Structure 1
Amino acid sequence: MTDLLLLHTSPVHVPVFDALRDRDHPGAVLRHLVAPELLDRARTAGSESVIPALRGLLTEAGAGAGSGPGAVLVTCSTIGAAAESLAPALGVPVLRVDRPMAAAAVRAGRRIAVLAALESTLAPTRELLAEEAGERPVSIRTHLVAGAWERFEAGDTAGYLARVAEAAGSVTGADVIVLAQASMAGAADLVTGPVPVLSSPAPGLAAGLAMRSAP
């Protein structure tokens, strides 16, 4: 099988996905591309503004070339939809990491609570959940975790995850909780409340590897 290219907007995701590969998919070949400027641009000018830069980066990385990656997995929820729109032009599958999580969420129940540390993530996640729900009636409530992103940017991972876990533990009236950003995944293990908590890295990586083209 050919390799999987992972596009990140933060370097913190690289060891997370490598660890998941080692645990769940030994032998799989991952290539990492880190472009934090894409998130900065999307936050100031909107997610569609990054499409030209995205296409350039992925083309330069070999997406669409015969010897390039078999698929692309984009781990940033803010730019996920923009990246997926490039799949026809690139000629390889492009998957946003949170799509499998969203599909699982709408199967889990009608009342979905979305937690994000970054406001620019909320609308794309809501739209993705509505898309995955299709004709199923769902109620989507979004929550911005105050102060969490500042801790993430400061490198305080433990404090960041603790804030997210605290927010998740206070959610009521939901059938399932969605952690909208891949960086939140570690908080799922810290939540002690009764509502199931879904995160995106593990199911996203499994789906990305399954999409790889045959050599």
Structure 2
Amino acid sequence: MKKLGLIHTSATLVPVFADLCSELLPGVETFNIADDSLIKEVIATGRLTPSVSHRVASHVYAAQEAGADQVLVTCSSIGDAVERSAALVDIPVLRVDQPMADEAVRIGGKIGVAATLPTTLDPTTDLIRRCAAAAGAAPMIVSRLCDGAFDCLMSGDSEKHDSMVAEALLDLASTCDVVVLAQASMARVVSQLGDTAPKTPILSSPRLAISYLAKK
């Protein structure tokens, strides 16, 4: 892989992945396509619309036309559209949570999934179920929606968001073999847990995805 195209639904993720690519993919050229209209429409409608799916496919095709050897789409809420778009181009297309789902299935028979948006919780849970079926496993999946946390984050109350997410993570970690963060924006909460951090593995998609690409 000489050139990686990253497609985001939030420009805030650009520096996050830039740092990871610099660390784990030295020598690989990267470029970014950011379109927050995608996630805004998904949140407003509560579902992955045909319009969003079409635009995701257009961005993936544009990345190929820009010379990408590989495409990574960094938003879990549009995962189904990412998978469909892969059939439309001649280069590999990876949804950011695929390596995370595979790792969760490998680790435990009881998997906790935390999210702050239902539009992310459902696709992530579905992906884990399909990964488990492909691996011949049948884990118990416990889903937890931090209802209202995303609104707090968007309104500037990051402290309330982080508190709600932390509570959910600690609760899931107390009963599950592994906890999956359905959104990259939740990862920072783990580093804030300090002495209360559980021994249970808590998985976040960005580093796992870039580490996966580094092995290709």
TM superposition shift of 1:193? 2.0
Question: Which residue does 1:8 correspond to in 2?
Answer: 8
Give the letter for the 2:200 counterpart: V
Name the CA shift for 1:62/1:98 in 2 (closer, same or farther; >3 Å).
closer
Q: Which residue of 2 aligns with 1:104?
A: 103
* Residue of structure 2 in register with 1:83 after alignment: 82
For residue 173 of structure 1, what is the aligned residue in structure 2?
175
Please tell me whether the aligned partners of residues 73 and 208 of structure 1 are also in contact (alpha carbons under 8 angstroms).
no
Higher relative contact order (CA 8 A, sep 6+): 1
Residues 2 and 70 in structure 1, CA contact (< 8 A), matched pair in contact too: yes
Structure 1 residue 42: deviation in Å? 2.4
CA contact (8 A) 2:63 2:71 kept: no
Q: Say if 2:76 and 2:97, in contact at 8 Å, map to a contact too.
A: yes
5+ residue gaps, structure 1: none
Q: Give CA deviations for 1:8-45 in whole Å, capped at 9, x if unaligned.
A: 11111011111112233333222111111111222316
Runs of 4+ aligned structure 1 residues displaced above 4 Å come to 155-159
Query: CA–CA distance in 2 between the matches of 1:157 and 1:209?
Result: 32
SS in 1 for 2:2: coil
Counterpart selection for 1:188 from 165, 190, 196 = 190
Deviation at 1:108, TM superposition (A): 0.8
3-state SS, counterpart of residue 170 of structure 1:
helix
Question: Aligned AA for 1:22?
Answer: S
**What CA distance in whole angstroms lies between the structure 2 residues aligned with 1:156 and 1:13?**
19
Any residues of structure 2 matched to 1:56-95 within 5 Å, and which? 56-59=58-61, 61-63=62-64, 65=65, 68-95=67-94
Q: Output one character per residue of 1:124-164: Cα deviation in whole Å (capped at 9) or x when no partner.
A: 11110011111212111110113320132234555534432
Partners of 1:117 and 1:149 within 8 A in 2: yes
User: Between the two proteins, what is the percent identity of the paired residues?
Assistant: 37
AA aligned opposite 2:14: V
Report deviation, 1:86: 1.1
Give the CA deviation at 1:68: 1.6
* Residues in 2 aligned to 1:45 and 1:128: alpha-carbon distance in whole angstroms: 18
Please say which of residues 36-45 and 112-121 is displaced more in the overlay: 36-45
Superposition TM-score, scaled by structure 1 size: 0.88
What value does the CA root-mean-square deviation take over the aligned residues? 1.9
Higher-helix-fraction structure: 2
Distance in 2 between residues matched to 1:198 and 1:106, nearest whole Å: 11
- 3-state SS of the aligned residue for 2:111? strand
Q: Is the 8 A contact 2:24 2:214 kept in 1?
A: no
1:111 touches 1:175 (CA, 8 Å); kept in 2?
yes
Distance apart, 1:210 and its partner CA:
4.8
Q: 1:15 to 1:173 in 2, by over 3 A?
A: same
Letter paired with 1:147: G
